[in-house]
Amino acid sequence: MNNLSNTLNSSIGKKYVMAATGLFLCVFLLEHLYGNLLLYKSDGGLAFNEYSHTLVHSILIRIVEVVLFAAIIIHVYQALKLTTENKNARKIKYAVSKVDETSNWFSRNMGLTGSIILFFIVVHLYTFFVPYRITHEVENSALAVKTAFQNGMYSLFYIIAISILGFHLNHGFQSAFQSLGFNNRNYMPILEKAGTGFALLITIGFASFPILFYFGLVGQTF
């Protein structure tokens, strides 16, 4: 037990946990995108409402939700610990700080983009999860989505946050597999393409909802 605890609290262990929880959240994003795509069916929102109803009444889904929230908390906690430890490790300050030319702004600021994404998650839960699952103010979840995205400010915020999420995923997806040992030169080009493809899929997929709903291109029958 002590060996497991020591491993998880080590720098490598924290990276393993970050990678595992990050990849789990990636799987959730795919499932969440699939569910949201039901809004595009020409059935007056019936399929999406049934999907939302299933999420509420399925015991299995409720268990997955608990795991999901735990994964988010653990992922954020480990990210904060790693960021703090990395800063504390830099005890020597150089007069001239040279930025790694091979890295981009997003890869150097995963903590900042992660914080923005966490804020977005809180707002997103407050907008959709709380009124539907907690206070039960919403019965027609498809109509609630349409109403939210007809608000220009919220739609703009959503698009910006999803775009930041895309950049975060592009780097995080590759880093997760590297942390799990897939850092062979033969794997890296594949992981880079897969990470970029996944990030584009999530960004374009989720960004399509505020755009199409705001301009009234979908959801006329809700």
What is the rounded CA–CA span in Å between residue 38 and residue 119?
Answer: 26
Q: Where are the domains of the chain?
A: 2-90+109-214
Report the pLDDT averaged over residues 60-83.
81
What is the rounded CA–CA span in Å between residue 4 and residue 174?
Answer: 25
Model confidence, pTM: 0.84
Report the pLDDT averaged over residues 180-195.
82
What's residue 94's pLDDT?
Answer: 44
Is the per-residue pLDDT at 162 higher than 70?
yes
What does the block give as tokens for 87?
Answer: 């800063």
What is the rounded CA–CA span in Å between residue 173 and residue 185?
Answer: 16
Q: Residues 6 or more apart from 206 whose CB is under 8 A from it? A: 33, 36, 158, 162, 165
What's residue 78's pLDDT?
Answer: 77
Q: Which residue, among 142, 149, 145, 135, has the nearest Cα to 211 in the 3D structure?
A: 149
What's residue 124's pLDDT?
Answer: 95
Specify the DSSP class assigned to residue 97: P
Query: Residue 95: enclosing H or E segment and its boundaries?
Result: none
Residue 94 burial class via C-beta count within 10 angstroms: exposed 0-12, middle 13-18, buried 19 and up? exposed
Residue 29 burial class via C-beta count within 10 angstroms: exposed 0-12, middle 13-18, buried 19 and up? middle
Is the per-residue pLDDT at 97 higher than 70?
no
Is the per-residue pLDDT at 81 higher than 80?
no
Specify the DSSP class assigned to residue 127: I
Q: Which residue has the tokens 């709380």?
A: 130
Report the pLDDT averaged over residues 64-92.
75
Q: Which of 80-84, 92-96, 110-114, 165-169 has the highest mean pLDDT?
A: 165-169
45: left (phi over 0), alpha (psi -120 to 50) or beta: left
Is the per-residue pLDDT at 201 higher than 90?
yes
What does the block give as tokens for 220?
Answer: 């006329």
CATH architecture of 2-90+109-214: Up-down Bundle (1.20)
Specify the DSSP class assigned to residue 99: P
Largest Cα–Cα distance in the chain? 64
Specify the DSSP class assigned to residue 93: P
What's residue 75's pLDDT?
Answer: 82
Is the per-residue pLDDT at 93 higher than 60?
no
What's residue 52's pLDDT?
Answer: 93
Higher local confidence (pLDDT), 86 or 125? 125
What is the rounded CA–CA span in Å between residue 3 and residue 95?
Answer: 41
